Amino acid sequence: MLRKRAKPVEMAANNKQQETKLAAIPVIIDTDPGQDDAFAILLALGAPDLDVLGLTTVAGNMGLEQTTDNARRIVELAGHADLPVHAGCPRPLLRAPRPVPEIHGDTGIDGWNWAPAKTGPKEGHAVDFIINTVLQSDRPVTLIALGPQTNIAMALRRAPHIAPRIARIVFMGGGFFEGGNMTPAAEYNILVDPEAARIVLGSGIPVTAVPLDCTHATPAPVNWSSKLAKYDTDVMLACAGMMEFFERYGNAKYGTKSRPLHDAVAVSALLWPELFEGRLCPVDIECSGELTTGMTVVDWLRQTGKTDNCLWLNACKNINEVYDRMEHVLRNLPYAH
């Protein structure tokens, strides 16, 4: 049976899509949604420069069942219902879970009337998915860690041979110049599982940290939620609602008029590194301090003689450009209202 030849225009379009995908960075997003995680996931899914291979979920902002359900809702809203989501570790390596509904609401992504997820997570543990995907990929994979790094640490401990096949780990977490947001010394993602973060930083894999130093230097425009809502698509209305909810707690705590979307800034730093500044230096995690557990100990002046192991970002060159680019990507995601 003869098949119809594709029209030249169709062939050109298909070839262009294939070339774009091959040029895109293959990534796995490890996450605990979280409004700012939701922005980060949507940004990654909409960005042509990233090829999202799947999502893995971890206990963090909310319990594992909730973060996994949130991840499914987010990918379905973005028109990527076929994207695999795998549930991972239900608690940190050595510590009790530490959910924060007072920050993110009862669901973790409050601010929008989310439709129930149509499907549940894929079978198989997130740690297995990370290991298998990294080994089977024909290109080195970048891991984006938006929550406690328990799944990634477990993968590195169970299968250390994957390390050379990981291009980079980009994580949102920590604070040096800005201190912490949960204790005077510790930022949330690191405080929840400091042992996991120490394993990641000691892995020998190139690491980029997007800490509070960087995210606090990259606040969203004041009343950005109102601007997002004007696009009148489900994705943008969800973003507007989540932004408004997320700001409510943060602005009251910090006395500000706007808050940074921490995890979305981390994805932005991967997409547009030219808009951020930092320094390669030694970084370690305090795991047993009486007052400093979870502290990211950054040897900014290289005083310890330890090996540089982390690109520590601490500044944004153009805040408006970051959010303009973010907005451009988000507004092109599907499902018109």
For the record, the structure tokens of 140 come out as 């080195």
For the record, the structure tokens of 231 come out as 């696009």
Pairing mode of beta strands 85-87, 141-145: unpaired
**70: nearest Cα among 98, 111, 128:** 111
**pTM of the predicted model as reported, rounded to 2 decimal places:** 0.92
> 25 forms bridges with which residues in the sheet?
50
Which pLDDT band, with edges at 50, 70 and 90, does 4 fall under? Answer: very low
For the record, the structure tokens of 137 come out as 């990929």
Which pLDDT band, with edges at 50, 70 and 90, does 21 fall under? Answer: low
Per-residue pLDDT tens over the stretch 128-138:
999 999 999 99
Q: What percent of the chain has pLDDT over 90?
A: 85
Pairing mode of beta strands 276-281, 25-31: unpaired
Tell me the three state secondary structure of residue 180: coil
For the record, the structure tokens of 219 come out as 């606040």
CB 131 within 8 A of CB 159: yes
For the record, the structure tokens of 250 come out as 């943060």
Angstrom distance (rounded) from CA 81 to CA 73:
9
- As its CATH architecture, domain 24-330 has Alpha-Beta Complex (3.90)
**224: nearest Cα among 331, 146, 144:** 331
More confident residue, 211 or 1: 211
More confident residue, 337 or 264: 264
Note the pLDDT of residue 2: 39
Note the pLDDT of residue 37: 97
Which pLDDT band, with edges at 50, 70 and 90, does 13 fall under? Answer: very low
Residue 6 clears pLDDT 50, i.e. is over it: no
Per-residue pLDDT tens over the stretch 48-81:
999 999 999 999 999 999 999 999 999 999 999 9
The answer to whether residue 262 is catalytic is yes
The H or E element that residue 283 is part of is strand 283-285
More confident residue, 165 or 102: 165
**185: nearest Cα among 280, 294, 111, 262:** 294
Distances (CA, A) of 114 to 74, 238, 246, 290, 331: 9, 8, 16, 41, 18
Question: What's the mean pLDDT in 249-278?
Answer: 92
CB 46 within 8 A of CB 328: no
Question: What's the mean pLDDT in 136-165?
Answer: 98
86, 104, 216, 262: the active-site residue: 262
Residue 19 clears pLDDT 60, i.e. is over it: no
Query: Starting at the edge strand that comes first in sequence, how are the strands of the sheet with 310-316 ordered?
Result: 85-87, 50-57, 25-31, 141-145, 166-172, 207-210, 310-316, 276-281
Per-residue pLDDT tens over the stretch 102-140:
888 899 999 999 999 999 999 999 999 999 999 999 999
Cα 212–286–32 angle (5° rounding)? Answer: 50
Question: What's the mean pLDDT in 28-53?
Answer: 97
User: Which 3-state string (H, E, C) describes 110-141?
Assistant: CCCCCCCCCCCCCCCCHHHHHHHHHHHCCCCE
Weakest mean pLDDT among 14-18, 33-37, 289-293: 14-18
Weakest mean pLDDT among 20-24, 94-98, 323-327: 20-24
CA-based torsion, 163, 169, 172, 178: positive or negative: positive
**148: nearest Cα among 213, 203, 193:** 193
Question: What's the mean pLDDT in 306-331?
Answer: 97
CA-based torsion, 298, 208, 180, 57: positive or negative: negative
Which pLDDT band, with edges at 50, 70 and 90, does 246 fall under? Answer: confident
Note the pLDDT of residue 336: 38
Question: What's the mean pLDDT in 74-91?
Answer: 97
Note the pLDDT of residue 163: 98
